Amino acid sequence: MKQSLQLRIGQSLKMTPQLQQAIRLLQLSSLELQTEIQQTLDANPLLDQDDNLGEITLLDFDQADDREDSTQFKIDQGRLAEDRAEQRLPEDLPIDSNWDNIYGNQSGANAASSNQGADNRDMFENQQGAQDTLKNHLVWQLNCSHLSPVDHDIGLAIIDSIDDSGYLMDSIEEIHRGLVLEHPSLELDEIIAVQHLVQRFDPVGVAASSPSECMSIQLGQYDPQTPHLAKAMVLVDKYLEHLAGNDMALLKRRLQASDNELAEIIRLIQSTNPHPGHSISEDHAEYVVPDVYVSKRSNQWLVSINPEHAPRLRVNDQYANLIKRSDSSDQNTYLKNHLQEARWFIKSLESRNETLLSVASAIVERQHAFLDYGEEAMQPMVLRDIADLLEMHESTISRVTTQKYMHTPRGIFEFRYFFSSHVSTADGGECSSTAIRALIKKLVAAEKQEKPLSDNRITKLLDEQGIKVARRTVAKYREALNIPPSNERKRLF
């Protein structure tokens, strides 16, 4: 085939830098957006944040045509450098100089108020301190125990083998094999003795190999005169699996206890902690800042953007006034490029806020029954429903609803929470899976403990309400709610 050059005219879609930036900002979470805005403010001198600004201000290139010459920019830079030089610390300071000698008395007043915000609250009030991990807590107690160097090494090896729940991850034999290389004469009994010491550290029961051993250690700390303590120790040691299986009849026979006695024994066992490590190494709370607020006024649900996530940005007039299109100096080109970037960034933020507000308003419009009556009134809804309503692409709705949160009178929910599959009802309608889970939770909460509802019974009760759902679907929703099966929920007292 002969090679040749041909000219063809056609159309194609292309992602412009502006569109790419708008899409990227749209899928950012609130914290990521704040970081992105701060980085842009630091990098672009023509972009300013003005909290007192009434609206976002954009400056066209044409408005800067007849301004002062760009050499003024150089003069301003020189003045700025001189001002900074005047504020620098002296090179040679007296040996006995202190902070007050350099800055005067005002620093003391500033220091007194530096840790307070505008509302006179301590800025460090809600800051997270150093986390006290389980390992550090146990090592601190080990160091206070005045052990020999060999026993101290054994204790460190045991503590290193404890997981976050407080249980040993390695067996005593494995710990012995790891220590015998450094201490050839070490006996297994010595490791067991140090293990018993660590098990009495706070929290009591750590370094146990099983839940049965852990609870036995904690019960062993009780007063020997505690009622039913002996039978509780026997139950934990031999019949803990039967207790987990809720086999009360077998427990009464083996322990030779009445219903009331067995209830007291189980209550005593429930006072122990099968996961002692969680009391020390708990995760700190993670706070969620909502992207939008939903409130009801005059019987109408209103949606508003969180102002903390929608800062008012504007173009810096002082630098923008220095631009002249006829000047092609490096400084002027630098300002023009950053001016265009500032305009694109402001427009992208505007587009993000508008899209976020539109999607949130559409969700509230479809789910106003949930806001009025709760989870049982949740309507089935998928991403395509909102996309068709707003005439947007489904992928855009997916970006908006990811890691975005809505503050409502019923709590803070992620946008994704309002989307769920549906189940057909007897009258030909649809019921949300979220509403079905709420109904299952309500039915289980109202059941009799001595005769809990089975999955088949729950299916029939839902069918009586016009909701046709299979038994396996009920079991799936029940497991998603962390509700155990009926045989494990049964209580005789």
Q: Is 415 helix (H, G, I), strand (E, B) or coil?
A: helix
In this predicted structure, the answer to whether residue 91 has a pLDDT above a threshold of 70 is no
pLDDT given at position 493: 59
What one-character-per-residue DSSP string does 208-259 give? BSSHHHHHHHHHTTS-TTSTTHHHHHHHHHH-HHHHHTT-HHHHHHHHT--H
Query: Mean pLDDT lowest for which of 42-56, 121-135, 470-484?
Result: 121-135
Residue 390 Cα to chain centre, angstroms: 30
104 CB-contact burial (10 Å; exposed 0-12 / middle 13-18 / buried 19+): exposed
pLDDT band per the 50, 70, 90 thresholds, residue 1 = low
pTM score, whole prediction: 0.60
d(CA 404, CA 414): 6
d(CA 478, CA 487): 14
Average pLDDT across the chain, whole number: 80
Dihedral, 57, 59, 63, 68 alpha carbons, nearest 10 = 100
Q: Is 93 helix (H, G, I), strand (E, B) or coil?
A: coil
In this predicted structure, the answer to whether residue 158 has a pLDDT above a threshold of 60 is yes
Q: Are 56 and 352 in contact (CB under 8 A)?
A: no
Residue appearing with tokens 């507000």? 357
Tell me the backbone φ, ψ of residue 420, rounded to 5 degrees. Answer: -155, 160
Q: Which helix (H) or strand (E) holds 347?
A: helix 330-366
Task: Retrieve residue 90's tokens.
Answer: 């002296």
Q: Are 195 and 209 in contact (CB under 8 A)?
A: no
d(CA 340, CA 322): 14
| Helix count and strand count (H, E) for the chain | 23, 8
**Domains delineated in the chain:** 134-279 (no CATH), 422-489 (1.10.10.60)
pLDDT in tens, 380-396: 898 999 999 999 999 88
pLDDT given at position 112: 43
d(CA 174, CA 193): 16
Angle, helix 383-390 to helix 330-366, in steps of 10 degrees:
110
d(CA 485, CA 475): 8
Task: Retrieve residue 397's tokens.
Answer: 């709705």
pLDDT in tens, 255-295: 999 988 998 999 999 999 999 988 885 555 667 889 999 99
In this predicted structure, the answer to whether residue 152 has a pLDDT above a threshold of 90 is yes
More confident of the two residues 296 and 244: 296
- Give the total residue count for the chain: 493
pLDDT in tens, 342-354: 889 999 988 999 9
pLDDT given at position 142: 94
Q: Are 277 and 163 in contact (CB under 8 A)?
A: yes
pLDDT in tens, 19-37: 788 888 888 888 888 888 8
